[in-house]
Amino acid sequence: MNVKNPHAIDKIRVGQAEPQLDSPLAYSISQFSAVTSVSRTLIYAEIQRGRLRLTKIGRRSLILVEDATAWLRGESSQPVPSSGPAGAAR
C-alpha cells in the first residue's frame, strides 16, 4: 500500500504487465468503503446484485483492484464461471 496515501484509488493501474508495489492489489470491504466514500451497505448490495465482484481468499473477503476499477467505471462484473455444466447432478 502507498505509505504517503494508503487510499490512493486514483493510482489504480489496470492492464499492466507487472503489479505496481506502491498500489494495493485488493481492498477489504472497509478499505473500499473508506477509499470510495461509499457505504458498506451499498457495497454489499452491489455485490448481491452482481455488479461488484467479491473474491474470497481463505476467510477474507476482498475486492480486487480490477473489479473495483470496473465498478467505478460503471462496467458490469464478469460472471464467475460455474464449476460444472448447468443442471448437472452433484
Give the DSSP H/E element, type plus range, for residue 64: strand 60-64
Q: Is residue 86 part of a domain?
A: no
- Find the DSSP H helices in 1-90: 29-36, 40-48, 65-72
Domain with 54 in it: what CATH number?
Answer: 1.10.10
Q: 36: closest CA among 57, 67, 14?
A: 67
Q: Is residue 80 part of a domain?
A: no
Q: Is residue 6 part of a domain?
A: no
Q: Is residue 63 part of a domain?
A: yes
Q: 9: closest CA among 50, 51, 49, 38?
A: 38
- The pTM for the full model equals 0.62
Range of the domain at 54: 20-72
Domain count for the chain, please give it: 1
The predicted pLDDT at position 8 comes to 52
**pLDDT digits 0-9 by tens, 29-74:** 999 999 999 999 999 999 999 999 999 999 999 999 999 999 999 9
Residue 47 cell numbers, joined: 455485490
Q: Mean per-residue pLDDT for 13-26?
A: 68
Q: 63: closest CA among 15, 12, 18?
A: 12
